[in-house]
């Protein structure tokens, strides 16, 4: 086994002094290795090549992780471990398998789902601890369009949940994935999430289901920043806004807490008596039309140009990796299926079953915040510190 000192292999081009600070290069170890899935899996995937392991550490500035606009929320509320499904720590074999999946690809597409954000305090729908487990049913596109009462309920809940949602910070998984992207190991990223945590970590993925950080008019298509919409809601509902800003985070059953319970996509479940009568919603400043978050609700379709861009990336990649998604929605499932049918290598890292388990050969059951930083450290870089 040969060992030699090298420079950072995953980075090219000039680096600033800040990017280079605290960088340490150790050694590269080469060996011919073949990794195989357990025999219980339906198919076998094998990688045969020289495995490189370089240990370094670095600090990378992550834009957008230090500021929030509407005040601080107790960190214990954001980091509620019950939101992330239980899973055993990833084994060394799991880490090696995932590292080789990254290493062997030259045009890798990554699809992320809610599982990458549960460790940030944002709940999902389908995990054992998800919203569906308590009987929650999200609003549908059709319900939002036809019912002013449904819109009032949605925006009241969303307004109440915004401060906490907006305070969420990227996890170690978001930051590790962004570092792998900057190192050239990820060619394209698609996310089902609407929380913009990838952006705060320095990535710019295709947002398959849109984002709650924009509001759009369903009549004329005018869109604007969610922060401005929050200001409009506050101006129209001053007493409501004052009550929300003094929420009792410690006692979820009290009237002062509005009977709230955190839900995915930025809203909070609130007792009906608190929003049914006197909550007012702004209308479009251009045409007086109905405003909605710029997200794809259940029952709606992904905009064609966005869907086409995602499916093209899936069909043209040589490897497709699903991270933290059960791919139960067709908009996500069709991407991994298209990549598989086009001959790409496919893999999934998720806690629990997925819709694609019967044809994806490499499936790892692990929390992303536990496995992705280890893959990054093994391959070239340790997780950069967020600022």
Q: What is the DSSP string of 18-86?
A: HHHTT-----EE--EEEE---TTSSS---EEEE--B---------TTSS--SS----HHHHT-GGGSPP
Of 274 and 106, the one with more pLDDT: 106
Q: Which of 61-70, 82-91, 140-149 has the lowest mean pLDDT?
A: 61-70
Q: Which pLDDT score is estimated for 338?
A: 98
Of 155 and 128, the one with more pLDDT: 155
Of 156 and 344, the one with more pLDDT: 344
Structure tokens at 224: 């604007």
Q: What CA–CA distance (Å, rounded) separates 351 from 364?
A: 8
pLDDT digits (tens, 9 = 90+) for 171-222: 999 999 999 999 889 999 999 999 999 999 999 999 999 999 999 999 999 9
pLDDT of 25 strictly over 80 = no
Short-list 276, 165, 297, 144, CA closest to 230: 165
Check: CB of residue 23 under 8 Å from CB of residue 57.
yes
Give the CA radius of gyration of the chain.
22
Q: Which pLDDT score is estimated for 378?
A: 82
Tell me the Ramachandran region of residue 249: left when phi exceeds 0, alpha when psi lies from -120 to 50, beta otherwise.
alpha
pLDDT of 63 strictly over 50 = no
Average pLDDT estimate for 73-101? 71
Structure tokens at 89: 């720590």
Check: CB of residue 50 under 8 Å from CB of residue 60.
no
Q: Residue 42: how many CB atoms within 10 A of its CB?
A: 11
pTM over 0.75: no
- The separation between the first and the last C-alpha atoms of the chain, rounded to the nearest angstrom, is 39
Q: Which of 199, 209, 227, 377 is catalytic?
A: 209
Catalytic site residue 209? yes
The three-class DSSP label of residue 8 is coil
pLDDT digits (tens, 9 = 90+) for 246-275: 765 544 444 444 445 545 454 555 555 555
CA atoms within 13 A on the CB side of 234: 15
Torsion angle (degrees, nearest 10) of CA 272, 115, 383, 375: 170
Q: Which pLDDT score is estimated for 84?
A: 61
Buried-state track 213-252, b at ≥16 Cβ within 10 A, e below 16: bbbbbeeeeeebebeebbebbbeebeebbeebeebeeeee
pLDDT of 294 strictly over 90 = yes
Tell me the Ramachandran region of residue 83: left when phi exceeds 0, alpha when psi lies from -120 to 50, beta otherwise.
alpha
């Amino acid at each position: 086994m040969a060992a030699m000192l090298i420079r950072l292999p995953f980075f090219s081009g000039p680096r600033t002094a800040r990017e280079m600070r605290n960088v340490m290069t150790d050694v590269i170890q080469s060996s011919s290795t073949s990794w195989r899935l357990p025999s219980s899996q339906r198919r076998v995937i094998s990688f045969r090549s020289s495995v490189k392991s370089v240990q370094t550490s670095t600090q990378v500035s992550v834009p957008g992780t230090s500021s929030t606009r509407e005040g601080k929320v107790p960190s214990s509320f954001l980091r509620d471990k019950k939101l992330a499904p239980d899973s055993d720590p990833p084994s060394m074999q799991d880490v090696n398998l995932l590292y080789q999946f990254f290493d062997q690809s030259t045009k890798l597409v990554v699809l992320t789902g809610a599982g990458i954000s549960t460790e940030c305090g944002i709940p999902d729908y389908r995990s054992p601890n998800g919203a569906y487990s308590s009987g929650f049913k999200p609003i549908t596109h059709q319900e939002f369009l036809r019912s002013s009462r449904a819109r009032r309920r949605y925006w009241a809940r969303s307004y109440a949940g915004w401060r906490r949602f907006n305070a969420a910070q990227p996890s170690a998984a978001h930051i590790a994935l962004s570092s792998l992207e900057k190192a050239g190991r990820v060619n394209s990223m698609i996310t089902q999430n609407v929380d913009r945590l990838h952006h705060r970590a320095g990535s710019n993925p295709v947002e398959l289901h849109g984002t709650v950080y924009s509001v759009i008019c369903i009549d004329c298509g005018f869109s604007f920043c969610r922060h401005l919409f929050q200001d409009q809601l506050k101006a129209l509902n001053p007493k409501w806004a004052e009550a929300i800003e003094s929420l009792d985070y410690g006692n979820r059953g009290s009237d002062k807490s509005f009977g709230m319970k955190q839900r995915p996509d930025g809203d909070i479940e609130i007792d009906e008596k608190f929003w049914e009568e006197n909550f007012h919603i702004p209308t479009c400043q251009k045409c007086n039309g109905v405003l909605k978050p710029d997200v794809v609700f259940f029952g709606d379709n992904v905009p064609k140009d966005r869907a086409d861009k995602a499916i093209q990336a899936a069909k043209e990649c040589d490897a497709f990796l699903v991270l933290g998604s059960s791919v139960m929605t067709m908009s996500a499932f069709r991407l991994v299926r298209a990549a598989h049918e086009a001959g790409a290598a496919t893999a999934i890292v998720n806690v629990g079953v997925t819709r694609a388990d019967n044809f994806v050969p490499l499936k790892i059951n692990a929390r992303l915040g536990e496995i992705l930083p280890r893959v990054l450290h093994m391959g070239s870089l340790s997780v950069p510190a967020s600022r």
